Amino acid sequence: MTSAPLQPNSPDAAAARDALHRVRRYLRRHPDNPARIRIVAEETREELVMPRAAVELLAAILAHMAAGRGVSVVPAHAELTTQEAADLLNVSRPYLIGLLEAGEIEYRLVGTHRRVRAESLLEYRRKDDQRRRAAADELSAMTRDLGLD
């Protein structure tokens, strides 16, 4: 499932910001809330019961929408084409193929086509983020040690 980007000043983006604020406030105020959360529609008073994890995911989606970014929801077990995987990582397809061939990201062949599991991409992104943070921390420490800060 994919949503188109919103204009940051649009009514939908404003509604996403308001909803995000309310959802985050609720989650902060009720950190030990049961695994299910009841949501009541303003106009119809209909109730919707959702798992807490779904509400936390909703908060992440709202944050992206409020910033005007499109959102894609991909199940962790989904297998993606190389183009879909490249789009998810925001890199070119040739760059992604280089990562696959270097063994950075797990994939499998279906005939002559590569398929990448979404969870493998997320694992790669997590490790890459850790490497980047470690490099930034090391650079900051070197700057401090040299008295350049």
**Where do the structural domains in the chain lie, given as residue ranges?**
2-72, 79-145
Model pLDDT, residue 133: 93
Q: What is the pLDDT of residues 45-79, one digit of tens each?
A: 899 888 988 888 989 989 988 888 878 788 888 99
Q: Which residues of the chain have pLDDT under 70?
A: 1-4, 34
- Whole-number pLDDT of residue 2: 63
Q: Are 52 and 33 in contact (CB under 8 A)?
A: yes
What is residue 26's predicted lDDT score, i.e. its pLDDT? Answer: 87
Query: Tell me, what's the pLDDT at 94?
Result: 97
CATH of domain 79-145: 1.10.10
Distance, in Å, from the CA atom of 132 to the CA atom of 140, rounded to the nearest integer, reads 12
Quote the pTM value: 0.61
